[in-house]
Structure formats: C-alpha cells, structure tokens
Amino acid sequence: MAGQPANLPQIASRFAEPEFYQALGLKCGIEMHRQVFTRHKLFCKCPVKPYNDVFHAEILRHMRPTLSELGEYDPTALMEFKTKKEIVYRLNRETVCTYEMDDAPPFGLNREALDRALVIGMMLNLNLVDEIHIARKQYLDGSIPTGFQRTCIIGINGWMNVDGRRIDIRQLGLEEDACREASDHGHRRTYITDRLSIPLIEIVTEAQMHTPEDAARVGNAIRRLCHLSGQVRTGHGRARQDVNVSITGGDRVEIKGVSSLRLLPALVHFEALRQKALLDIKEAARARGITANDFDTELDVTAQAKKVTHPAFRMPWGGGTTARAIVLRNCSGLLSFPTAPHRTFGNEISDRIKVIACIDRKPNMAHSDCPESFTLGALFDEVRRATKTGAKDAIVIVAGPVGDVTTALGEIRIRMREALTCVPRETRKSLPDGSTLFERMLPGPDRMYPDTDLPPIVLDEDCFTRARGAQPEPLWEKEERYAALGLSKVQIERLFTQDAFTTFEALDGRVNVKPTVLAYLLLDWIPFLQGRGLDVSVLTAERTLALLGGTNGKPLDQKTAAARVAAAVGFAPHFLTKPDPRAADRRVQA
C-alpha cells in the first residue's frame, strides 16, 4: 500500500492545449508489457526469482542476421550487425538453464502463464484465438541469447472503457522477457540473464490517443486493469511500456522501455515537436536545393587533428586510428537546428555514430555549426580550402579506429539523405527530461517467422471456462461504483496502483467508517505509520475490522479511526496527528 499518487493529468497540463496537437495531426498508441505472475519461466522449469547481480559464469556471443521466410533481411538486424558488438551474458545457475542459452529446445509453453493471459484477454474484450501458434521474433541487440524471442498471439480486436471513451485494443501477446542490460561500452555489451524468459504479456492499443494527456490517461487505465486482474507481477522492473508517436507528414517512431507512466506526456509532446523540427529541416534542405550527392566529399585530417585540443579528439593516437572530415554541402546551420530540449539535429547524427559505429565518448564528433567548436576554426578553413567548399557548407569531423570512423561517415551520409526525404522510422530510448535518443531502426515484418520447435496448442472450452471464472468485475464498472461511494479520482487510481483495492473491498460496508475515511487509512495513514518504522503487518483485514467496529451507530470520524489504528501498532499518543509540513514553514518564516 505504500507509494505516492501519480497525478498524470496535472503533469500533462504543462504542455499545450488539444488544438495544438490537432494541428500537428498527433497520433499515438501504447504497448504495455507486464510480467505474468507464475512460478516458472515461459518455456522451461527455471524458477522466477527476484533480480540478482550475482553470476557464476559468463558466455561471449556474436549475433548474425538470418533470412526471413520470404528470403528478406530485417533492416534492424542488418543495422545491429554493423555494430560488430560482442555480447557477454552473465549466468546465475539458479535462474537459467540450457534452454535460455539456445543449447536445448523449449520444454513446452507454461500453461499457468497461458491461463493468466486468457483472463486478461477476456477483461480486454478480445476475440480470443482457439489455437496458439508460437513465432520467433528476431532480436539482434543481444538482449536474448538465441537471437530471437518466442511469442504468440492470445487475442485480437478488443476494447476497454477509459473515462467513458472506447479505446480499441489491437492485440494481446504472450512472450518471453529479455535480459537486463548491465553495461554497453564500445563494441561490448553485457547482460544479466535473471529476467530472461519470464512470461510477459504485451497489450497493444490502436493509435487513438491525440494528446500527451490522452496517452497518460489510457496508459494508466491499462495499468489499473492489470493490477485489478491479479495476474501480473507488480513493482519496479516488472512493467514497461512503449509508446508509438507520429504526426502528419512524419512517421511512426517507437519510444521503448519507458519505465514510468509519469514520463509519457513529456515523451509524446517532445517527440511530436521533434518530428515537426525534422519536417522543417527537410523543407529547408529542399529550399536550398540540397541533393543526396552533396555528402560525398571527405578528407583525411589525422595529422591536423592530432595537434588540436578538442574533446572529440581526446583519444590515444597511434596505428589504426584516424580522423576524417566529411563535407555537407550547403548545410551550414542545419546541424544546429533545435529538435528537443538541449538537443539539435547534430545530436541526431551523433546518436547514430554512438550506436552503430560504437564511438561513444562525449562528444564523439566535431562540427562547424557547434559553438563549442570555435577552436577548430583553422581546421575547418583548411578542410574548405582542400575540398574547394565555402562558408555555406557544414563540416563534420570524426576520430577513432579506422573501421569505426568509416562506419561513422557512412551513417552520417545515411542520416543526411534521410533528412531530405522523411522522418526515419526509429526505435528511440527515453531520457528523464522527455527527449529521446536513437536506439535502432524500427523493425519490419521480416523479423517474424514461425517457430519450428513447438506445435500449435489447441485451446478447449475448459481453458475459457477457467478464464471466465477468474475474470473480475470490469474495471470501469468498479471505478464507477467507487465514485458513487464518494471517492475521488486520485483515491480510486491509488487503490488499484497500490494494490489496496482488495482490502478496501473486504472492509467496505463492514466497518463503521465512511468509504472515504477507509480509503484514507489504507492509502495514507497506514503507509505513514509504516514509514515511522512500525510493523503494520498486524493490520490484516480481520484485525482492522475488529478495530473499527461494525456498521451500527454513528460512523467514526477520521481522527478517531486513525487513533485506533495507530494504537494497534503501538504508536505513541502524542504523535497521533499526522505532522503538518506547513507548520514547520510557518515557524521558519516567523
């Protein structure tokens, strides 16, 4: 029951009015991932245990792309292959086996996970499938040692009610969770495998949200529904969400692994503005007559860079290292065009160099539009003289191992050519301020293909009967009932997200306090007592019922009810009133 309320509408209100996003043509959808509450992993008998950094062995692997069933390579797989990453897995003998390391076939789908997923499918009014087909989804970032994730569809074309509005649910999937990333430096990425293969549901909405507040409201409603189901794990690291954002003229960009719903409004807002900035850059480039052939000129500047003091060149120089300049004709000023808080179009290029060329020092390039590169003026002039270019042209210099620099200049060309035609379809990583970083190209359909190790699973009527029996009251009906009791929206939300609704249900109508007072005790007072170091585990539903009496007589007021609860855990009488922080402020002012 501990925790703080998430006032998402208040957070979203610091952004623009709905008319602003309507003019942009903003659309977004949510993919909610929640771990399913099971004893074992999805395709083996390894136990699901709390995360632990202890490991007993390490395995080194390299990932390679494979052809799809139609003989095509997925662009994301090809991009990941260009990084030439070494992938290290840290193994704990208690949480992984030969299946996770792709040294043994799967042991069959966890039927407990399937039964729990069916319950959530019914709660989302989905058309449930009657035959489960396992598919493989390529993951060449190394987060899954096999190079693919086993996944299946549970149901499609569902809906849920959010504040009286129908939100369509495209599909519900059941799949394996991935590893936890421990580090990512240069050409080596390290993962911890304790989270690997834990059963995970994926709830995918249609792109029906048109403001940042919409995204937050729907995401939080799905979160409450998952808590209400009783079928998922709760707590830090057990839930993540992706948000897909596009605007008119832009394209779908997926922001991955958002750890908190509180971040959604800022992420949606700033991604919409980023896409608008990229469209403005495209129009500016077209107005200047820039073409795809204007990025071909490059020059070796290793000798000059060695003599210059600049953070982008702070590296051990020697055999196998180089510095090269690339000329972006008629692009002066474009790299300094703002795209997000404290970020410019130059950062878009820097991100590609970091992720794909694996040059990850900061900064990893120097360019003529950057005010911090004023000390390189003489070097830029020398490049212009050697390449017969002028002040209207931008120059980018990258230093590092020869192979990495070659890859980096290739990515600069790719990104500049994309800028002339489109908003790239990307997967991006969220930052705390609401801006994002490039992570990889957006995967296409070529990454999916049937799994040949597992036969289809036919769902009989007993499966659906069990799911119907475990299905709780619809979320929106329960919320309407709570509102009729006088509870505020914030109290209703917190009852679900703090998993206090079961205790509230057990006590409401049986204790001699108003529902609003009961919600206060469960959400605020008892967590406050726990924060004072008191043992509140004794406050079971039965004990609380005994403390607060029956339903006869005048209801207890909030102070009296709080005093009885406090006395039950040994709270001193002179601390019975919760401290008022404003009192300390008044004393300081006096």
User: Domain boundaries in the chain?
Assistant: 8-40+111-178+199-283+444-450, 291-419, 503-589
Give me 179's structure tokens: 């590893």
pLDDT tier at 580, thresholds 50, 70, 90: low
Mean pLDDT over residues 146-174, rounded? 96
For the cut 70, the answer to whether the pLDDT of residue 3 exceeds it is no
Contact call for residues 185 and 362 (beta carbons, < 8 A) = no
Compare 156 and 11 and report the one with higher pLDDT.
Answer: 156
For 458, the 3-state DSSP assignment is: strand
The answer to whether residue 251 scores a pLDDT higher than 70 is yes
Share of the chain above pLDDT 70, in %: 94
Residue 413 sits at φ, ψ, to 5 deg, of -60, -45
Q: What is the mean pLDDT of residues 145-167?
A: 96
- In this prediction, residue 539 carries a pLDDT of 93
Chain CA centroid to CA 475, Å: 24
Residue 96 has pLDDT above 80, yes or no: yes
Section 237-255 average pLDDT: 95
Res. 98: pLDDT tops 50: yes
| 88 close to 191: Cβ distance less than 8 angstroms | yes
Beta bridge partners of residue 344, listed in sequence order: 338
Query: 575: pLDDT confidence band, cut at 50, 70 and 90?
Result: very low
Lowest mean pLDDT of 38-52, 94-108, 126-140, 573-587, name the range: 573-587
- Mean pLDDT on 21-38: 97
Q: Which residue has the tokens 């799967």?
A: 106
Instruction: Tell me the pLDDT band of 1, cut-offs 50, 70 and 90.
Output: very low
**Which helix (H) or strand (E) element contains residue 482?**
helix 475-484
Going by C-alpha positions, the residue among 312, 280, 276, 287 that lies closest to residue 392 is 287
Determine how β-strand 188-192 pairs with β-strand 86-91: parallel
Confidence at residue 519, expressed as pLDDT on a 0 to 100 scale? 97
CA distance 531 to 2: 9
Candidates 137, 139, 140, 141; CA nearest to 151 is 137
Query: What integer is the mean pLDDT of 466-474?
Result: 95
- Between the two ends of the chain, the Cα-to-Cα distance in Å is 37
Instruction: Summarize the confidence of residues 71-96 as an average pLDDT.
Output: 90
Tell which wins on pLDDT, 409 or 587.
409
Which ranges of 172-211 does DSSP label H, i.e. alpha helix?
none
pLDDT of residue 549: 81
Give burial (CB, 10 Å; 0-12/13-18/19+) of 327. buried
Q: Reply yes or no on whether the pLDDT at 28 is more than 50.
A: yes
Q: How many degrees, rounded to 5, is the angle at CA 493 between CA 487 and CA 499?
A: 105
Average of per-residue pLDDT across 426-450: 88
Residue 590 pLDDT > 50, yes or no? no
List Cβ neighbours of 496 (8 Å cut-off, separation of 6 or more). Answer: 223, 224, 227, 228, 475
Lowest mean pLDDT among 247-256, 273-282, 474-483, 575-584: 575-584
pLDDT average, residue stretch 127-139: 94
Bond prior to 363 in cis (omega within 30° of 0): yes
* Span 166-183, pLDDT tens digits: 999 999 999 999 999 999
Phi, then psi, of 533 in degrees rounded to 5 = 90, 10
Averaged pLDDT for residues 13-20: 80
Q: Does residue 2 carry a pLDDT above 50?
A: no
Question: What are the tokens at 574?
Answer: 């002179």
| Burial readout 66-98 (b: 16 or more C-beta within 10 A, e: otherwise) | eebeeeebbbbbebbeebebebbbbbbeebbbe
Say what the pLDDT of residue 378 is.
Answer: 93
- d(C-alpha 237, C-alpha 253), whole Å: 23
pLDDT digits (tens, 9 = 90+) for 514-557: 999 999 999 999 999 999 999 999 999 999 999 998 767 788 99
Torsion of CA 202, 207, 209, 210, to 10 degrees: 150
Residue 576 in this model has a pLDDT that exceeds 90: no
Whether this prediction's pTM lies above 0.85 is answered by: yes
* Phi, psi for 243 (deg, rounded to 5): -125, 130
453 by Cβ neighbours in 10 Å (0-12 / 13-18 / 19+) ranks as exposed
Q: What are phi and psi of 153, to 5 degrees?
A: -95, 130
Closest CA to 507 of 461, 459, 556, 460: 556
Q: In DSSP terms, which residues pair with 90 in a beta bridge?
A: 58, 192
Region 244-263: mean pLDDT is 95
CB 358 within 8 A of CB 187: yes
Give the pLDDT confidence score for residue 5 in this predicted structure.
37
28 CB-contact burial (10 Å; exposed 0-12 / middle 13-18 / buried 19+): buried
pLDDT at 374: 85
Given a cut of 70, whether residue 241 has pLDDT beyond it is yes
**pLDDT tens-digit series, residues 313-355:** 999 998 899 999 999 999 999 999 999 988 999 999 999 999 9
Tokens 């960009």 correspond to 253
Closest CA to 145 of 199, 185, 97, 74: 97
Q: H-helix or E-strand containing 185?
A: strand 180-185
Q: Measured between alpha carbons, how far is 387 from 299 in angstroms, rounded to an integer?
A: 8
Mean pLDDT of 260-284: 96
Give yes or no for a contact between 554 and 517, defined as CB atoms under 8 angstroms apart.
Answer: no
Q: Which fold has domain 291-419?
A: Gyrase A; domain 2 (3.30.1360)
Q: Spell out the SS3 assignment of 23-43.
A: HHCCEEEEEEEEEECCCECCC
Q: Would you give the DSSP letter of residue 364?
A: -
pLDDT given at position 588: 40
pLDDT for residue 448 = 84
